[in-house]
Amino acid sequence: MPDSMSPAPVSLRERPGRFLRSINRWAAWRAGYAPKATGFTSRPEPRSIGSDTRGRQLMAGNLLFAGVLVQVPRDLPWAIEPPTDAFEDELHGFEWLDHLAAVADGSSRPMAQDWLADWLKRYGTGKGPGWVPDLVGRRQIRWISHALYLMSGQDGHETQAFYACLGRQTAFLARRWRSTSHGLPRFEALTGLIYSACALQGMEHHLSAALKALAQECAREIDASGGILTRNPEELLNVFTLLTWTAAVLDEAGKRPDPAVNTAIMRIAPTLRSLRHADGGLARFQGGGRGATGRLDQALAQSGVRPATVTGLAMGYARISSGRCTVVVDAAPPMMGPQSFNSHASTLAFEMTSGRRPLIVNCGSGASFGADWRRAGRATPSHSTLAIEGYSSSRLGPKAAYHGVVKQALIEGPEKVEVQESDSGASRAIAFSHDGYRATHGLIHLRSLSLENDGRLLRGEDGLAALTPEDRDVLDKVMARLPLDGIPFSLRFHLHPDVEAELDMGGAAVSLTLRGGEIWVFRHGKEANLTLEKSVYLESGRLKPRATKQIVLSGRLTDYGSAVSWSLAKPGDAPRGHRDYDRDPLRL
Query: What is 169-232 written as a DSSP string?
Result: HHHHHHHHGGGSPTTHHHHHHHHHHHHHHHHBTT-GGGHHHHHHHHHHHHHHHS-TTS--TT--
505: exposed, middle or buried (Cβ count in 10 Å: 0-12, 13-18, 19+): exposed
User: Cα torsion at 182, 186, 187, 189 (round to 10°)?
Assistant: 180
> Phi and psi for 418 in degrees, rounded to 5?
-110, 145
Chain mean position to CA 25 = 30
Write the DSSP symbol of residue 506: G
CB 196 within 8 A of CB 177: no
List, in order, residues 6 or more apart from 572 with CB less than 8 Å away.
none
Question: Which string of DSSP letters, residue by residue, matches 281-321?
Answer: PBP--TT--S-STTHHHHHHHHHTPPP-PPPS-BTTEEEEE
For residue 233, give the nearest of 148, 175, 292, 147 by alpha carbon. 292
C-alpha triplet 282, 575, 584: angle, nearest 5°: 40
Write the DSSP symbol of residue 15: P
* CA separation for the pair 122, 108 (Å, rounded): 22
List, in order, residues 6 or more apart from 587 with CB less than 8 Å away.
293
Q: Which residues of 526-561 are buried (b: 16+ CB within 10 A; e: fewer)?
A: ebbebebeebbbbbbebbbbeebbbbbbbbebeebe
Share of the chain above pLDDT 70, in %: 93
* CA separation for the pair 18, 34 (Å, rounded): 25
Phi-psi map region of 315: left, alpha, beta (phi>0 left; psi -120 to 50 alpha): left
> Residue 3: what pLDDT?
36
The winner for highest mean pLDDT among 2-6, 242-246, 407-411 is: 242-246
Calculate the average pLDDT of the chain: 90
* CA separation for the pair 112, 563 (Å, rounded): 59
Is the pTM value of this prediction over 0.85? yes
List, in order, residues 6 or more apart from 353 with CB less than 8 Å away.
277, 278, 279, 281, 325, 326, 359
For residue 388, give the nearest of 547, 557, 509, 222 by alpha carbon. 557
pLDDT grade, residue 287 (50/70/90)?
A: very high
Q: What are the tens digits of pLDDT across the range 394-450?
A: 998 888 765 556 678 898 899 999 999 998 878 899 999 999 999 999 999 999 999
> Residue 15: what pLDDT?
59
> Residue 572: what pLDDT?
76
* CA separation for the pair 420, 313 (Å, rounded): 11
pLDDT grade, residue 34 (50/70/90)?
A: confident
For residue 408, give the nearest of 418, 416, 420, 400 by alpha carbon. 400
Residue 196 has pLDDT above 90, yes or no: yes
Residue 315 has pLDDT above 90, yes or no: yes
Where in 438-545 does DSSP place strands (E)?
443-452, 457-465, 487-495, 500-504, 509-513, 519-524, 529-537
